[in-house]
RNA sequence: GCUCUGGUGGUGUAGUCCGGCCAAUCAUAUCACCCUCUCACGGUGAUGACCUGGGUUCAAAUCCCAGCCGGAGCACCA
């Protein structure tokens, strides 16, 4: 009795038990824990990326989790670009769209998209209001000076400035009358607070470098994350904030501002950092950017790059990444994401649709071997006809010409031994040729011969397969020429990959590192 | 130094709030077997964890104490 039948039977015998079982199943579908104080239809969450480059795989976690909760609570997904640092983490103008594309690839679409750099006047207004409420003061201490006082729990001399001076000095900040480092606006918190991280933090500072966005290039007075993000979260109606443990103290800092404004602070959840195994490259936008600039990586979508764009180009479904990310849960400890988990999820999604094709690798340590197939015990057929998919005969089969063929050297049997060319038949290796034996599948069923993939030497496509471990050259069967780019296929006994491009004009002579192959493919995983 | 925060198999996770049904769930991983014209898919099985030490209790992964180890913040970065 299979699962469905068993359930049906249970439904007849004990309907209440079945209902219980199904209720449990519902529970189980929720990989993520429930959100605290979440009301259906009244949940607003935001992803707040700094657009200083395209996303790495770790970034997928935020949209994956927010998107999942959005669906569960019929909530809202706000994407707010926190691009308030034109200098140190300078925004990259292409990154805004790149990030939105990354989110779309993951299968989500933000309900609202905001840019903090569009909202400076709003932040200034709130700063003025905060000053009027006695919650902020301008300060011209150097960073070191203030740090020393702060660590001792001592106020700096500017703390007791009269409100009028603060107003004037802040107006001058907004007008850009100071240079970087000359003046900041601090939030008056509690200079003796037991946690030094919370004492009178900076809300606005001067930056001399113009913002890359033309619309914001005139501003010199920029809010710090805690101020900008705190104000925006309230103004956009965010009910649940999810962020990394590096921002653990942010909520505590922002609460001082919220208290001045008499706002209610949203629910906050923190999670740990995500590490991804399998990559030597550090998971950081600036590190990856550096590697690309140094030529170590060919771009953000280099198969060796731990980026969303790379996953996409390799044919890994955004959903696979989302599944893996939600499986990480919401723990505050650091987690290691195993790429094998992403691969397993992707295999699940892709296996049924991916048609099968042969690709014979030609590697230094395992070169492809070219041999003619000759008549042996029986006349050799002209071609093999393996199915496009073993579970879907209805999709038909491919034609693989079989005059001179290539096989991978480790697949070659000892001289005199037989091997089964998949979709073709049994051949005997005779040193300089493969002699056709027969097409009686019985030898395979009995386990007497190994089954290997192969490709025609002349008609095959010179192929470049780009993998995480470097580029692999080889020859693929000609049927791949009819496959549309962007299709995910399975290279039999090699693994899944995505067809990137086909160039029928490519000639045999023009073998170079780029653009010379007939076929370009990206490798996903086994 | 001060302040947070966390420790369940290789990885992730459930269980911890309200102690027993936990000799600990599920997934992935690894290995084996079955299936199979793939090393894929599917099926079966195996491997493998409660940080340590005390305490409370009839009973502790769960409560208490101490210790050990880890992560984060104390930026005019986000």
A401-440 confidence digits (pLDDT tens): 999 999 999 999 999 999 999 999 999 999 999 999 999 9
Query: CB neighbours (10 Å) of residue A289?
Result: 16
What does the pLDDT average to over A189-195?
92
Which tops the pLDDT comparison, A247 or A5?
A247
Which residues in window 73-132 of A are less than 7 A from strand B by Cβ? 82-85, 87-89
pLDDT tens-place string over residues A341-372: 999 999 999 999 999 999 999 999 999 999 99
Tokens 């970087």 found at: A180
CATH T-level fold of A44-115+227-270: Rossmann fold (3.40.50)
| CATH architecture of residue range(s) A355-525 | Beta Barrel (2.40)
Nearest to A408 by CA among A448, A455, A340, A449: A455
Which residues in window 17-36 of A are less than 7 A from strand B by Cβ? 33
| Residues making up chain A, counted from first to last | 526
Q: What are the residues whose beta carbons fall under 8 Å from the beta carbon of A334, sequence distance 6 or more?
A: A272, A273, A274, A275
The pLDDT of residue A419: 97
Nucleotide nearest to A223 (CA to C1'): B76
Query: Which tokens sit at A343?
Result: 């691969």
Tokens 């670009």 found at: A81
The pLDDT of residue A31: 82
pLDDT tens-place string over residues A220-231: 999 999 999 999
Nearest to A350 by CA among A328, A318, A324, A327: A318
pLDDT tens-place string over residues A111-144: 999 999 999 999 999 999 999 999 999 999 999 9
d(CA A33, CA A432): 63
pLDDT tens-place string over residues A314-351: 999 999 999 999 999 999 999 999 999 999 999 999 99
d(CA A326, CA A340): 15
For chain A, which residues make up each domain, given as ranges? 1-30, 44-115+227-270, 120-223, 275-350, 355-525
| DSSP assignments along A72-102, one per residue | HHT-EEEEEE----SSTT---TTHHHHHHHH
- Write the DSSP symbol of residue A150: H
Which residues in window 160-219 of A are less than 7 A from strand B by Cβ? 180-182, 184, 194-197, 199, 201-202, 205-207
Query: Which tokens sit at A144?
Result: 């070191």
pLDDT tens-place string over residues A254-277: 999 999 999 999 999 999 999 998
The pLDDT of residue A282: 78
Q: Provide the CB-side half-sphere exposure for A264 (13 A, CA).
A: 6
- Provide the edge-to-edge strand list for the sheet that holds A425-429: A451-452, A418-421, A425-429, A434-438, A368-374, A404-408, A455-456
Is the separation of the CB atoms in A260 and A130 below 8 Å? Answer: yes
Alpha-helix runs per DSSP H in A281-378: 285-293, 308-313, 318-327, 339-350
- The dotted CATH code for A275-350 is 1.10.1160.10
Do the domains spanning A44-115+227-270 and A355-525 agree at the CATH topology level? no
Please list the residues that pair with A502 across neighbouring strands: A519
Is the separation of the CB atoms in A134 and A86 below 8 Å? Answer: no
Q: What are the residues whose beta carbons fall under 8 Å from the beta carbon of A448, sequence distance 6 or more?
A: A418
Which residues in window 289-348 of A are less than 7 A from strand B by Cβ? 327-329, 331-338, 340-341, 343-344, 347-348
- The dotted CATH code for A120-223 is 3.90.800.10
d(CA A383, CA A369): 18
Specify the 3-state DSSP secondary structure of A123: helix
Please list the residues that pair with A113 across neighbouring strands: A79
What does the pLDDT average to over A68-75?
95
Q: Sort A89 into a burial class: Cβ within 10 Å, 0-12 / 13-18 / 19+.
A: middle
The pLDDT of residue A9: 47
Q: Does the CB of A222 sit below 7 A from strand B? A: yes
Please list the residues that pair with A519 across neighbouring strands: A463, A502
d(CA A316, CA A101): 15
Q: Is the pLDDT of residue A471 over 80?
A: yes
């Amino acid at each position: 009795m299979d699962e469905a039948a068993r359930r049906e039977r249970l439904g007849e015998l004990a309907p209440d038990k079945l209902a219980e079982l199904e209720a449990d199943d519902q529970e189980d579908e929720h990989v993520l824990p429930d959100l605290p104080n979440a009301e259906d239809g009244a949940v607003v969450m935001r992803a707040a990326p700094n657009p200083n480059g395209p996303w790495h795989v770790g970034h997928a976690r935020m949209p994956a989790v927010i998107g999942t909760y959005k669906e569960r609570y019929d909530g809202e997904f706000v994407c707010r670009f926190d691009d308030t640092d034109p200098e140190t983490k300078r925004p990259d103008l292409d990154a805004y769209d790149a990030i939105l594309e990354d989110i779309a690839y993951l299968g989500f679409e933000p309900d609202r998209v905001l840019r903090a750099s569009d909202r400076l006047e709003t932040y200034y207004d709130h700063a003025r209001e905060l000053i009027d409420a006695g919650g902020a003061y301008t300060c011209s201490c150097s960073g070191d000076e203030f740090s020393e006082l702060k660590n001792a729990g001592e106020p700096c001399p500017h703390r007791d400035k009269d409100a009028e001076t603060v107003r004037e000095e802040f107006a001058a900040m907004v007008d850009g009358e100071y240079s970087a480092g000359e003046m900041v606006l601090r939030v008056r918190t509690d200079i003796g607070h037991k946690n030094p991280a919370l004492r009178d933090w900076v809300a606005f500072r001067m930056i001399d470098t113009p913002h890359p966005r033309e619309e914001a290039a005139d501003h010199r007075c920029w809010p710090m994350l805690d101020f900008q993000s705190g104000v925006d979260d309230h103004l956009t109606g965010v009910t649940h904030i999810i962020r990394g443990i590096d921002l653990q103290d942010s909520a505590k800092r922002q609460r001082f501002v919220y208290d001045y404004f008499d706002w209610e602070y949203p629910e906050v959840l923190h999670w740990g950092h995500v590490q991804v195994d399998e990559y030597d490259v550090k998971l950081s936008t600036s590190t990856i950017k550096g590697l690309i600039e140094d030529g170590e990586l060919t771009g953000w979508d280099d198969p060796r790059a731990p980026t969303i764009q790379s996953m996409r180009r390799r044919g890994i479904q955004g959903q696979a990444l989302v599944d893996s990310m939600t499986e990480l849960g919401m723990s505050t400890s650091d987690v290691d994401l195993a790429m094998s988990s992403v691969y397993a999820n992707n295999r699940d999604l892709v296996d049924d649709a991916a048609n099968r094709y042969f690709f014979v690798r030609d590697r230094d340590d395992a070169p492809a071997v070219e041999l003619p197939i000759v008549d042996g015990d029986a006349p050799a057929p002209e071609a093999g006809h393996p199915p496009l998919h073993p579970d879907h005969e209805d999709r038909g089969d491919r034609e693989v010409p079989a005059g001179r063929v290539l096989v991978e050297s480790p697949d070659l049997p000892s001289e005199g031994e037989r091997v089964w060319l998949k979709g073709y038949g049994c051949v005997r290796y005779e040193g300089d040729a493969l002699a056709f034996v027969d097409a009686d599948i019985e030898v395979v069923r009995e386990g007497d011969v190994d089954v290997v993939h192969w490709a025609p030497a002349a008609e095959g496509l010179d192929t470049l397969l780009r993998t995480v471990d470097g580029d692999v050259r080889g020859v693929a069967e000609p049927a791949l020429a009819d496959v549309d780019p962007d299709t995910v296929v399975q290279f039999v006994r090699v693994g899944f990959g995505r067809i990137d491009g086909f160039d029928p004009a490519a000639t045999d002579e023009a073998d170079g590192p780029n653009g010379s192959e007939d076929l370009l493919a990206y490798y996903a995983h086994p």
